[in-house]
Amino acid sequence: MKILVAVKRVVDHNVRIRVRPDGTGVETTGVRMSMNPFCKHAVEAAVQLAEKGQASEVVIVSVGPKQSNDVILTALAMGAHRGILVETDAALETLTIAKLLAKVADEEQPDLILLGKQAVDDDSNHVGQMLAALTNRPQATFASEIVVKGSELEVTREVDYGRETIAVPLPAVVTADLRLNTPRNAALPMVMKARSKPLAVRPADTFGVDLTPRLTIEKISPPAERVPGKTVGSVADLASAIASEVNEMEAL
């Protein structure tokens, strides 16, 4: 079984997000970047399947600027076999990314495509579902467990009312949730070894996909600052403060 894993380079989840002064987007200059956490769980799932002998090859693909090589190298250090960078400096929309990944899938013909369920920069939760539709493959989203059973997968999904387990025939698309596994930290020898693994760079405009954006972002602004709380000395003071706020709201 060949597995294709899509990963995204995002602002590190430990970094405080700042909006650019002109409101055109999130500040990324001089900011620490890393692999999207959900994507890391997808990589770990693929590597575990390979270690169990249930996958013969794990191929990593990322769409983005040249700097996205670092997240591909991270995945290779975790145990993936080779990488593909679809290089572009353009800010692509989710449908465009799904179309580019579909082109890569047509070339690679993987039995399983794994992605993070969403990216922490925009939380769109679009690409996996769009990719499944574009490649005409069954999908299982929000996976917290994946079990290979012959020519199909048994996937446990995180849903609003708890968990559900479904059977999905291969080839399929699966998106990873945080409870799927605990991603490994690659040791330094694995990081050094990753640099010798194959990594192909393909310009995005060679795939025959229209990269023109269809949406216009007028402005991005940070959320309003929270009003600091108040400290009261007694229950009576608390009741008085609540009554005062209620009266102010009623007056409005």
Dihedral sign for Cα atoms in the order 170, 141, 55, 153: negative
Tell me what percent of the residues of the chain surpass a pLDDT of 70: 100
Reported as a single tens digit per residue, the pLDDT across 213-243 is 998 888 888 888 888 888 888 999 889 888 9
Give CATH for domain 2-206: 3.40.50.620
* Whole-number pLDDT of residue 42: 97
Reported as a single tens digit per residue, the pLDDT across 143-189 is 999 999 999 999 999 888 889 999 999 999 999 999 999 999 988 88
- Give the C-alpha separation, 99 to 117, whole Å: 17
Q: Is the pLDDT of residue 25 over 90?
A: no
* Whole-number pLDDT of residue 179: 93
